Structure 1
Amino acid sequence: MTTVTTVRHRRDQEHMATASDDTGGFRRRLLDGLAASIADKGYRTTTVADVVRRARTSRRTFYEHFASKEECFVALLTDANTGMIRQISASVDQTAPWRDQVRQAVEAWIAGAESEPSLTLSWIRDVPSLGDAARRLQRDMMEAFATMIQTLCDTDELRAAGVGPVSRQLAIMLLGGLRELTATTVEDGGRIRDITEVAVQSSIALLGPHAAT
């Protein structure tokens, strides 16, 4: 009896694990489907039908995971921006000269934006005009990126150079300028990597010792 119960318990656990994997897999496919459709036709003209077609699943599956296209978009941007913050933070060598650290961070931003330019542009241009959840995401992500900038600037190397601590206001100004430069470059059909030098030099000028607060 004990053996039968144990086997059943193990099967139940395996079934739950498989169901969990399937749920995560469907969610990822839906997010990837939305990202692909944004790259192809933009967020505003993308429909739930477009997403499920690209994800090779059903509308029923979509609504099991997301209440709306906007909720799916919020989830996609949350994942993308969280990954971008992680990527930028990991790219900075905190023992390097402070100007090199700024360059490393800016180059990591540009690499992340260039890997998904349509999604980056949609984040900057589409989100502000959407609903409350998207606008909350916009504010939360701006705060997260500003906090990242403050954290990256609060190192021994930067403090020794007279840089930092960086105020929230200064971090937001830096982020806003970088976002707008990225967006206009994409809209004009340019390559994001071509803004590297102006972005690096502007960031150095803004964060330099005279700007420390």
Structure 2
Amino acid sequence: MASTQTRWSQAEAADPADFRGRLLAALASSITEVGYRDTTVADIVRRAKTSRRTFYAHFASREECLIALIHDFNTRMIARIAAAVDGAAPWETQVRQAIHAWIAYSEEERALTLCWIRETAALGDSVRHLKRDTTESFAAMIQTLCDTAEWRAVSGGKTVSRQMAIILVGGLTELTATTVESGRPLTDIAEAAAQAAIVLLRTLPD
């Protein structure tokens, strides 16, 4: 499996002149190796093989660079999950496909996943909007995935509310974070997460 730096470098910095991408790849690499708290702007610049001047031309601070990285990280995750779900499959299969895609991506990027869930929450007002926007994006994805003919046929026309989608997102992110923190593989939670989502979606209010 490719390293975090290799994956992010290929996706974000295919063009050597794409300094923003190189900086994001460097931050991702540093988070994976030493964690966000021990990463400095100097570390990011060194890994990106560029200068502080270039860094500050793109980001006002280390926190702003992190916000950009986590935004891109979650955009990729949402795209990965949406691509994994077959809208024509039985709805329980679709739930499992979505959960397994979440698990697979989070397992590939354990350090970034934990940074997103734990570190950004501890940064306070400077990234509060990131947590809110990320939650809303995942909730909207769930609502979209459940807005299919297959789903409507089995739910009696019920729709997944924003509140219900947020409950699903919150439970899954916390389960993911505690599993990473325990050092266990995320595949350990796949079945429990899928079953919980299925039960919750079966009991949608009228």
Say which of 52, 63, 67 aligns to 2:45. Answer: 52
User: Does residue 1:173 correspond to 2:167, yes or no?
Assistant: yes
Deviations 1:151-208 (A, max 9, x none): 1111100110117411111111111110001000110011112211111111111111
Letter in 1 for 2:63: E
Residue aligning to 1:188: 182
Say which of 148, 151, 174 aligns to 1:155. Answer: 148
Q: Which stretches in structure 1 are left out of the alignment for 5+ residues?
A: 1-20
Cα RMSD for the two superposed structures: 1.6
Instruction: Give the distance between the partners of 1:65 and 1:22, measured in 2 at CA.
Output: 16
Identity %: 60
Q: Which stretches in structure 2 are left out of the alignment for 5+ residues?
A: 1-13
Letter in 2 for 1:82: T
Tell me which stretches of 4 or more aligned residues in structure 1 moved more than 4 Å.
Answer: 21-24
Number of aligned pairs? Answer: 192
Instruction: Give the distance between the partners of 1:133 and 1:52, measured in 2 at CA.
Output: 22
Letter in 2 for 1:136: H
Say which of 48, 57, 61 aligns to 1:68. Answer: 61
1:133 positional shift: 4.0
Instruction: Give the distance between the partners of 2:182 and 2:68, measured in 1 at CA.
Output: 28
User: Does residue 1:84 correspond to 2:65, yes or no?
Assistant: no
Letter in 2 for 1:29: R
- TM-score where L is the length of structure 1: 0.86
User: Does residue 1:123 correspond to 2:139, yes or no?
Assistant: no
- TM-score where L is the length of structure 2: 0.89
Between structure 1 and structure 2, the one with the greater Rg is: 1
Residue aligning to 1:94: 87
